[in-house]
């Protein structure tokens, strides 16, 4: 779930606490029922609701499809529900946040900012946080391997972004012409498309002609 509460057992409490600078609630605290309803805006109470009994959360539903998830984890019952929704505005804000974080990383790598902005850029990168991603250990051969088990698309994106950002051969780049982030198969690539490369070359040629 996007902007997941700090506590994984948030549904056991009357209120949820969100991390600072989240884009759902600026106060960082809201009623658990209100938070739950944000992700199931089109479901009736009969289709999707919950109860808390003896320290356990139970999803109440009259949907056969939803009942099929009852034997899975609570997290799976929520995010894989056919009633689950996320606002497009949240996804846009999330993408903007990732872009700003990556742009600050690029500025730091290129030494293109002053000391104060460098400090703020480092702080912004340090503050980039995503909820813990579960994993398991597999033994397919003689060496144990970590198998990541993201519970949502957001967790998968966070994990991929984190690994690529921290990799020595980071495949993410910013196009020198249009400014979009792209996945560079060629480590020497400077543009996200042949169109951007051609347009950039045209502008360079025009600038040279003006200088002459």
pTM of the model: 0.69
d(CA 198, CA 202): 6
> What pLDDT sits at residue 3?
67
> What pLDDT sits at residue 1?
64
> What residues does 97 pair with on adjacent strands?
none
pLDDT, tens digit only, all 212 positions of the chain: 666 777 878 899 999 998 877 778 888 899 999 999 999 999 999 999 999 999 999 999 999 989 999 888 888 888 889 999 888 888 888 888 889 899 999 888 888 888 888 998 898 888 777 666 788 898 888 899 988 888 777 778 888 888 888 888 888 999 999 999 999 988 889 999 999 999 999 988 888 777 66
> What pLDDT sits at residue 62?
93
Tokens coding 166 = 């921290």
| Of the candidates 199, 78, 42, the residue with the CA atom closest to the CA atom of residue 69 | 78
> What pLDDT sits at residue 64?
92
């Amino acid at each position: 779930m996007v902007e997941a509460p700090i506590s994984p057992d948030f549904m056991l409490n009357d209120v949820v606490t969100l991390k600072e600078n989240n884009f759902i609630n600026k106060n960082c605290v809201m009623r658990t029922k209100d938070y739950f309803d944000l992700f199931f805006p089109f479901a009736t109470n009969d289709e999707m609701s919950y109860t808390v009994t003896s320290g356990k959360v139970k999803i109440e539903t009259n949907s056969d499809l939803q009942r099929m998830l009852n034997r899975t984890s609570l997290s799976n019952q929520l995010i894989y529900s056919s009633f689950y929704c996320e606002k497009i505005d949240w996804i846009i804000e999330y993408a903007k946040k990732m872009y700003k974080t990556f742009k600050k990383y690029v500025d730091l790598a290129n030494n293109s900012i002053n000391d104060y902005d460098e400090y703020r850029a480092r702080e912004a990168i340090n503050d980039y946080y995503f909820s813990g991603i579960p994993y398991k250990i597999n033994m397919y051969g003689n060496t144990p391997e970590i198998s990541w088990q993201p519970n949502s698309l957001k967790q998968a994106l966070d994990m991929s972004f984190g690994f690529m950002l921290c990799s020595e051969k980071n495949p993410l780049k910013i196009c020198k012409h249009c400014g979009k982030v792209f996945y560079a198969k060629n480590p020497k690539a400077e543009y996200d498309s042949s169109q951007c490369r051609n347009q950039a070359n045209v502008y360079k040629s025009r600038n040279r002609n003006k200088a002459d």
